[in-house]
Structures are given as C-alpha cells and as structure tokens.
Structure 1
Amino acid sequence: MIYEHLEDPILYDGSQIEPAWALSELGIKGSSIITWIGPMDVKNIVDYEDVDLEIKSENVLHFIVEHFDEQPASLRLSYHRQRVLVMLLMEELRGHGFEIRREGDDLYVGSSKLTVSIATASVSSMKIHLGVNIHEKGTPDDVDTVGLLDERPEIGMEGVVQIAENVAMAYIHEIDSIEEDICKTRIF
C-alpha cells in the first residue's frame, strides 16, 4: 500500500469516497492510504441513516483508504477493514493519554463523539473514510463532539500529523501481516 500525507488542506465533501479518487486527483495508482488536515462538509452522503444529517467540522484529520485487492470488491471486507483502522486509531490515541471508547466505527471521549467514518465498495475497489475532529468548532450543534486538541492541546498540529502517520503505517503493517499469514497457511 502507498501512504501519503497531503500538506495542503482539502475540503472533504464526500466526493473523495468515490472509486479511484487518489488516482484521478493525486496520480496515486493502486491501494493507498491518504491523510490530510482540512475542513469537512459532506454533501455526498453514502450512509442511508445519515442522509438528513449535517456532517461537518472546521478542522479534521482525514484518512482515505482504498483497496483494489479483491474484485468484485466486498462491502463486508471493507467494513472489517474500517474497524481495524478505527481500532488502530484508538490504540494510538490511548498511547497519548486519551481515555477513549469505541462504539462500532465511532470513537468517543466520555459522551463526546471524536470521529466519523464510512466504508463502501464499488465494482473495482473498497473505500474507507475516517475523520477525526481536531477541534469541536464547526461541528453540528445537535451532536456532542470533541476534538483531539480540545482534549490534548499539547499534542499540537505536528503531533496530529505524527498520529496520522503512525496509524497509517500500523494499518499498512496489519494488512501486510494478514497477507503474509494467508501465504503461509496450508488449506485443507
């Protein structure tokens, strides 16, 4: 998998969950995990339960993951991988002193929601978006939210970028490790 952190902010509007976004917008071919920091205002909502909700924030750490390793792509596998990504983020944040809990694909600090996430699949690929609030500013008024730097301002923006890299590299390692286990397992 290719990992790249984008320095320039991009508005996450949901279009980035479309197949081959990294190729068409960034020239990155193949399975990838792309991170960046930027605003979020989702217009292209994939989750039927969220269609009438506001999904927005002024500053978010974004992860976009795309896998091309199974055709047709599997929505079930995409959701499994999403949970792996979320659990790796939870593990990383606990290492920074966050008292964090997971409910499905969402992370919380106390009763305050820290993340948003979606997994989907097309004929050609599986996609995941994971967004982590950096501050609660600009999030919907009807949702109790929290941001990374609201809880731990000492981390700073450089620390947020380091968290992104650590999680991305841990995810790539997990995927590679699974592939290695598949290759060495005798099947009956």
Structure 2
Amino acid sequence: MKYKGLKDPILYDGSQIEPMWALKNFNIKGSSLISWIGPMNLENHKIIDYEDVGLEIKSDEMLHLMVEHFDCQPADLRLCYHRQRLLVTIVKDFLQEMDLNIQRNGDDLFLGQGKLSVSIATCSASSMKIHFGVNLTTVGTPGDVTTAGLKDWIEGFDNEKAHEIAEEIFKAYEMELKTIEEDISKTRVF
C-alpha cells in the first residue's frame, strides 16, 4: 500500500470516493491511503448511503482518510465494509491512547455526546473505496446533529498533530493487512 499525506487543504465533496482518484490526481498506482485536512460539503447527488440522502453532511475542518484497494477482483463490498470497520477501530485505538473516551457504533465514532466522524465504503468494478473523516472542530457541522471536534477536546491539538496521527493510522492499517496476509500464508487448510 502507498501513503500520501497532502499538506494543502481539499474540500471533500464526494468526488474523491470515485475510483482511481489517487491515480488521476497524484499519479499513485495501486492500493493507497491518502490523508488531508479540509472542509467537507456533500451535495445530495454525491451521497452514497441511501439513508443519508436529504441530510446535511458538512464540516469546516476534518482530517480525511481516503483508502482504495485493488487487491480483490472483482471488488467485494462485504470485504470493503470489513476493512472500513478495521480502519475505524484503529482510529478509535489511537484516540483512546490520547486519553479520550471514544465510543464506536458501527462505522461512527463518538466523543462525549458528539458525533466525531463520518464514513462510507463503496466499490467500483475495479476497486474498493473507504472515506473516513474526523471532525477537528464543530464549526460548520449540521445544526441538527450534536458533533464533537478533536481541537475542542485536546488542548494544543493542531493540524500538524492531525497529520502525524494520519501517518500512524496508515502504518497500523497497513500492518494489520500485512499480518492478515502472513497468517493466511502460514495456515493449513482442509
């Protein structure tokens, strides 16, 4: 897997979940995790989860993780959702190490009463895609949802720390996938 941490902000508008976004925009071939900090604003026609159509999905500042896998052909939505939950659990573990009482419900993380994250998993004919976004602030989030932001809960938390965490999350995610492959290769089957 390849990793790229973008330093310039990008608006997450849903176009990044399209297949081969990393290749088209950064010439990254193959499975990858791209991270960046930026706002999010999804218009209804870009919302993938049918249950979310009609809802406001936005934030002024988030840490975004965009994962794409090409290792399973044809792409497998069930496997993609399993990987999404693995990624969410890794993020939860990292934030708990920062003495935050993070709760997970499916693919959502909560801090106190506030929703801390958004996520979606999907597939194209050639790849599996996961977007995971963590609120850095509650500014610009929907008024009808109680939200939480890392900068509101961690004194001195800044974008540089968010970039560092993103790279550590990638390393942990990559290691989980690698050790799964190693376990497969050493297991006797019947």
**Structure 1 residue ranges without an equivalent (≥5):** none
Identity %: 59
> How far apart are the structure 1 equivalents of 2:157 and 2:8?
20
CA deviation profile, 1:48-88 (whole Å, cap 9, x unmatched) = 00011111000000000000000111100000000000000
Which of 54, 57, 73 is 1:55 aligned to? 57
Classify the secondary structure of the residue corresponding to 1:8: coil
> How far apart are the structure 1 equivalents of 2:132 and 2:15?
14
Q: Residue 149 of structure 1 aligns with which residue?
A: 151
| 1:171 alignment partner AA | Y
Q: Residue 17 of structure 2 aligns with which residue?
A: 17
Q: Residue 89 of structure 2 aligns with which residue?
A: 87
For 1:25-104, what aligned pairs fall within 5 Å after superposition? 25-43=25-43, 44-104=46-106
> How far apart are the structure 1 equivalents of 2:153 and 2:92?
14
TM superposition score normalised by structure 2: 0.97
Classify the secondary structure of the residue corresponding to 2:66: strand
**Structure 2 residue ranges without an equivalent (≥5):** none
> How far apart are the structure 2 equivalents of 1:41 and 1:168?
24
- Say what the alpha-carbon RMSD is for the aligned residues: 0.7
| 2:38 alignment partner AA | G
Q: Residue 178 of structure 2 aligns with which residue?
A: 176
> How far apart are the structure 2 equivalents of 1:155 and 1:182?
39
Q: Which segments of structure 1 move beyond 6 Å, counting only runs of 4 or more?
A: none
Q: Residue 119 of structure 2 aligns with which residue?
A: 117
State the number of aligned residues: 188
| 2:70 alignment partner AA | F
